[in-house]
Each structure stands twice: as structure tokens, then as C-alpha cells.
Amino acid sequence: MIVLHLSDPTTRFLHSIYEGIDGVRLFTSLTQKQEALKAIQAAPKDEPILLLGHGTPFGLIGTFTEYFIGDAEADILKDRPNIVGIFCYASTFAKRHNLKGFFSGMFISEPAEAHILSVSATPQEIEEMNWAFSGKLGDLLRGNTSLETIAATLKSSLSAPSSTSGTTPTPLTPLTSFNYSRLTYRKTGTEPLPESENYLCFNV
């Protein structure tokens, strides 16, 4: 598994996604960008690639002026079935480049984002949701669960848990509804975005 997750205290909760997984190659600095790109290019096609942090419809942010993975690098991700993108508008970035895998949409992880998007949530709610989401995703990845099943399991966790899923239910709130409804599994790379996400992105 290759993980790109820049060191950033505001996304420290994302560590829970890959901690404890054997064989992780972790890249945490923009100075490692070329090394990370070479690792992805050399990796088997089915090796999971995790892109974690802050982002836009144009990619995973490195700095205000450079993307860690952006439009210029997207070609190295094509035809890879096991990409996980957890950053704001990861699904839009994936749609623009026909990428396959499991992606978040606009993901409220900070109080300022909730305020801008008029989603009612306290700072404590947001912090708890961040850690709960990352923990659940990490548990599923450590269990070698397929990305398609991961997407279905996380989205269904907003309702009462089934007798077979074993997934702790996620409280249904304006915050969890916003974030979880925008999770997508993209099998072919050509799937449409959720309508609400497409509206937010202004069809970029």
C-alpha cells in the first residue's frame, strides 16, 4: 500500500486509516513528491494507493501553489482499481480523470467548512466524526474488504446496523448526512457524481 498523507495537524485523524497495516510506504512531505510518483509508477496495478489530506477538484493539495497529486500527475493513477481518495472533492478529481476506487466528496472536517456550507455541527461533533470515520475505514481496510463493500458499508452505517455487517452505526446528523452521502465507489471511472456534489462543484 502506498500512502500520500502530508504531515498536517488538521488531518492527523487520517492516520487511523492506515496505521497498523503491513507494508505501507508512507510519503508525508512535498519534498518526497517525485519519490512518491516513482513508487506509484513502479507498483503493481492492483496495489492500493491512498491519497489523504486537503484537496480541491484539481487534486490533493501539497502547498498553496503545488499539488501533491494534481491534474499533471493524474495519468499515473489511471487503470488502477484500488485508489482511495479522502480529501475535499476527491470524487470530482476522480471523475475528471476517470479514476477508479473509493472517494470522498466535499468532506467537512473543520468548523469553518461547516459554517461556509451552512451545515449545523459543533466543533466537538466534527472532531468525533473525523476520528470515527477514519477508524471505521481503517478497520475495513485492515480486514481486506473490497472498496465496493467499504463504500456500501460506510454509507449503510448511517442506518441501523445489520446482523451481518458488524459495523457500529453512525449517528444520522446534518454533518454525517452531508459527508457520508458524498462517498462514492467508482468501478469504471465514468460514474456520475451525487447530484448534491455536482451542484457544489459547479460542473468543473
How confident is the prediction along the chain (204 residues), in pLDDT tens digits per residue?
999 999 999 999 999 999 999 999 999 999 999 999 999 999 999 999 999 999 999 999 998 889 999 999 999 999 999 999 999 999 999 999 999 999 999 999 999 999 999 999 999 999 999 999 999 999 999 999 999 999 999 999 886 445 444 567 888 999 999 999 999 999 999 999 988 787 676 555
CA distances from 96 to 13, 59, 183 (A): 27, 10, 16
CB-count exposure of residue 186 (10 Å: 0-12, 13-18, 19+): buried
pTM for the model: 0.92
Q: Give me the number of domains the chain comprises.
A: 1
Q: In which domain, by residue range, is 101 found? A: 2-201
